[in-house]
Structure formats: structure tokens, C-alpha cells
Chain A
Amino acid sequence: MELVRDCLDKQIDDQSKRRMGRVDGIVLVLEPDRAPRVAYIELGVETLMNRLSVRLGRRVARWMRRWRIDPDPFRIPWGKLKIGLNTVIAEVEAEKTPALEWELWLRKKVIGKIPGA
């Protein structure tokens, strides 16, 4: 498998095929005298911004903290993933993870309050 080609930026769904987001980052663990190990994938704004520029990532994280939003990306252990041809399936329940935090907040606080939603 080629990590960047087959995993990075792919759509990630939960076990009941609920769209969670995209694989925004991949975390490798480096240990002495051992080959690098893929530990997690990450989903989150800070991870994405870091890919554009580390300085931008830091600035966005600071801005999010000021608004009391946790900027830390959501991590899913590599062992809980199934890498398909064009989709990554995570053995989690999307609605119980921070990946859908914004979706649920908007649903409850904004969209759900508009008639006909």
C-alpha cells in the first residue's frame, strides 16, 4: 500500500456507512532501531491547515482556543481502519466521535430550530 495514494484524503465512513469526513493526516511513530509504524489517521481543521502552512495551522489553533473550541484533531487508531479502493471504513460510531461534533451542534442549535428542517 502507498499511504498517500491509498489513504490520505480519502473519504472516511463509519461502520454504518455514515460519512465522517476525509483522512486529513496520517501519524507515523518513529522508534529507535525499528521501522516507522503507522499509528493513527487524523481528522481536523488544524491538521488540514498545517498541510497548507505550519504557521497558519498554529494561528488557526490559537484562534479556535480563543473561541473555546478544541483544535486538537480527532485520531483513529490504524487498527480500527479498513482501507478500501476509494474509501476508508472506520470501526467506530460516527455520531459518538468528535468528527461529527460540528454537524451535531449545527443540527441542534441552528438547523433544527428552522421550521421544516
Chain B
Amino acid sequence: MKKLLEIALGIVTSVGGFLEIGSIATAAQAGAEFSFQLIWAIVLGGICIIFLVEQSGRFAAVSGRTLPDAIRERFGFNYFAFMYVVLGLVSLMVLAAELGGVCVALELGTGVGFQWWAIPVALLVWLVMWKGTFGVIEKGVSLLGLVTVCFVIGAIIVHPPWHQVLRGAAPSLPQHDSARYWFIAVSILGASISPYLFFFYSAGAIEDEWKETHVGINRIIATGGMGFGTLISIAVLILAATQLLPRGIKAQHYSELPMLLIPVFGQKGFWLLVASLGIACFGAALEITLQIAYLTAQGFGWNWSENQRPLDEARFSFTYTVIIVLAFVPSLLGLDPLSMTVFSMAATAATLPVSIVPFLFLMNDYSYVRVYRNSWFSNAVVLSIIGLAFVLAVVTIPLQIFGGG
């Protein structure tokens, strides 16, 4: 029973981590512009992230180390510094987008411009980090994130043409706006295969004191959590294809997003959208802030744990404070949160090889993972993801120029 509860909670928290502003925005744009045709990109991203999250959890449970720890040890400081700068900047952009998402949800709910919410939202994120424990952040906020299940219920209620939905799961060439189609596909992959997810997950396994006995549970949680998150993203796309596309709404602005749920649930749909957007972005903002602080502290060998008092790990708490200050500036200046989101998802896609290549080496290193090394199948999958990551790194910037608008 205890194990079942642990698995259920783990799945819920993984969903909470998966669903954020990037996956909602990119899935909505995909459905609004290309109907069901881009479902394959969400499915592909989902499969990739299931494998990477499972491996990062297995690595932490068996070796007792997080990914940044091992990357610094095995690849040396120079590679770590390069990864730290790249991943830190991209994560900061994604965090800025998440904070913007919370502000937009508040603007939709209150009518007060989103810039005005930048400082209160940043303060709230900081306060939860300052006073909260890892359990509060991981489980509390993620449980609230269950409200996003409303997208799945909505997608079932609208009775989409399921044969077309299924057909969308197989990759196909676009009939119009090729550059835009591929740019959205790349953004979806960037939103799904977020490095912050597996870095956060490996640190979480250490915070939760996972041991070798958690290898099986980890597999179920990673597959169930990321799989369910993928399902919710597909539901957003279905709603966009059935509710936005026929009305000619392209989801180019957040104010258009409530139309995903209003036709299905009426006025309640509006509030469900506001709550889903706000809570999902808030949860993701906490996780990304923690992930950047973890990455810094683990890479430099400082004391770190969200379960300790800020006073006992001054450098760690100072780091997340600075990160929050830096990340709320774009919202304060009034930069469009949707543009920030789409840009940061593309930047994530462009920098994926830096954080994925180490998996291939670490997951086959006997001194860390012993008998839990990758099978030939898992290695083949990681190699395929690395190949995909290099393709994304090459094509993202040209697609951003020709299809980003």
C-alpha cells in the first residue's frame, strides 16, 4: 500500500513537472494552425523524456549521485562550465517564461496588466523556496496541478475524430507553411525534452533518499508521469484543433487560450484555464529555480538541499534568490510572455546535445550504475535521442528565422 501511494504521488509530481507553459503554448499553437497533424511531435518528445527521466532516476538511486555531480567528475570542469553556462542561460529564459505565464494567468483572472504581477509572483516563488521543504514543492504544488486533467476531460467531451487523432500520431509532411510547421515541431520537442526535468528528477531522487530498491518504482513513475503529461499535452492540442482552428484563432496571444475550454465548460472553462495555466507555470517556476540552484551547488560541491534551513546553506539559498531576481525582470519590463516561451523552447531544443550526450557515458559506467547499466536497447534509444538533438541544434535557428513569426 505504501509503495502504491509512493508510485501514485510520484506520477502526479512528474506530471506536475512535465506540464508547463511551454508544453501548453506549443501544443495549442500546433492544434490551432495544423489541426491534429503535429501529435507525432508530442508523442516523440514524450518517448524521449520517459527514457531520459528513467535513466536519471536510476542513476541517482544506484550511485547516490546527481547528474551534475557525475558530469563534473567524469567530464571535468571545462565541460561542466560549458554546460553550466548554456543550461543556466536557457533555464533562466524558461523560468522567465514560466513567471510570465503565472502573471498572464493573474491578468486573465483579474484584468490587471501582467507586468503589475511580476513582483508579487517573484516574491511568492521566493517565499515558497525560502520557507518550503522539497516535499512541499514537489508534492503540494504538483497535486494542485491535477487541475490540468480538465484538458483531458475536455478533449473527450468534444468527441474529436479519433481516426484523425491517431493518424496525427504518425509523422507527416505539412500541406502549407512548411517552415512554421517544422518550427512548431521543434518547439514542441524543446518543451517536452526539457533538461530541467531530468536534472530536477535526479536531484529529487537524492532529496527523497532513493536507494537501489527504488529502481523498479522509478521506472513506473518515470513512464507513468511523463506518459500522463504527454497525454495532457495531446489533449491541449486536440482542444486547440477542435475549438480554436474552426474559429480562426491561432493562439498567438495568451488571451486567446481560454477559448480552449470556454466552448466546452462555459464560464467555468475560463476559470479552469486560468487555474491550470497559473498553477502549472507556478509549479514549473519553482522546479526550474531549484534546478538552477541545484546545478550550481552540485557542480561546485556546495552544501545543498531544499530540506535544510537557508542559513545552513547560504550559498545555495543566495543562488536561488539571485535567479528569481534575474528571471522576473523580463515580465516587469512587459516583454510578451508568449514570445518568451516560444523563444525559450526553441533555445532549449538548440542546446539539447550538451545535456544529453553525457547520458551515454554515465549510464554505462560500472563505477556509478554497476549492474544497472543501460541495455543495448536503452543505449540505442539514447543514441537516437542524441542524433535527434543534433538535428534540432542545427535546424532550430534557421527555423526560428523563417518560421518563428
Contacts and interface: CB of A to CB of B under 8 A. Distances in A.
Chief secondary structure at chain B's binding surface: helix
Interchain residue pairs A-B with the least CB separation, the first 4: A22-B301, A106-B314, A107-B314, A21-B301
Contacts of A107: 311, 314
Interface in B339-360: none
B69 interface: yes
Given A20-B301, A22-B301, 11 more contacts: A9-B73, A11-B301, A19-B301, A48-B81, A51-B76, A103-B315, A106-B315, A107-B311, A112-B311, A116-B130, A117-B309
Contacts of B309: 117
A107 B301 CA distance: 17
A15 to B, nearest CB: 16
A18 interface: yes
A22 B300 contact: yes
A114 B300 contact: no
Interface string B256-297: 000000000000000000000000000000000000000000
B303 A19 contact: yes
A102 interface: yes
A35 interface: no
Interface of A: 8-12, 18-22, 24, 48, 51-52, 85-86, 102-104, 106-107, 110-112, 114, 116-117
Contacts of B301: 11-12, 19-22
Nearest to A106: B314
B317 A86 contact: no
Contact of B77 (A9, A18, A20, A85): A9
B300 to A, nearest CB: 6
Contacts of B314: 103-104, 106-107, 110-112
A52 B367 contact: no
B361 interface: no
A51 B318 CA distance: 26
B302 A21 contact: yes
Interface of B: 63, 65, 69, 72-73, 76-78, 80-81, 130-131, 300-304, 309-311, 313-315, 317-318, 367
B72 A117 contact: no
Contact of B76 (A9, A18, A85): A9
A11 to B, nearest CB: 5
B269 to A, nearest CB: 39
A15 B120 CA distance: 43
26 contacts: A9-B76, A9-B77, A9-B80, A11-B73, A19-B302, A19-B303, A19-B304, A21-B301, A21-B302, A22-B301, A51-B76, A52-B77, A52-B81, A86-B367, A102-B315, A103-B313, A107-B314, A112-B311, A114-B130, A116-B130, A116-B131, A117-B130, A117-B309, A117-B310, A117-B311, A117-B317
Contacts of A52: 77-78, 81
Contacts of B318: 106, 110-111
Contacts of A20: 301
Contacts of B77: 9, 24, 48, 51-52
A103 B303 contact: yes
Residue of B65, B302, B303, B314 ringed by the most chain A CB atoms within 10 A: B314
A104 B80 CA distance: 25
Nearest to A47: B77
A116 B128 CA distance: 12
A44 B375 CA distance: 39
A51 B73 CA distance: 14
Contacts of B65: 86
A23 to B, nearest CB: 9
Contacts of B69: 11
Given A18-B303, A52-B81, A8 B76 contact: yes
A29 B130 CA distance: 46
B73 A86 contact: yes
Nearest to A22: B301
A3 to B, nearest CB: 13
A87 to B, nearest CB: 10
A12 B72 CA distance: 13
Given A18-B303, A51-B77, A103-B302, A9 B72 contact: yes
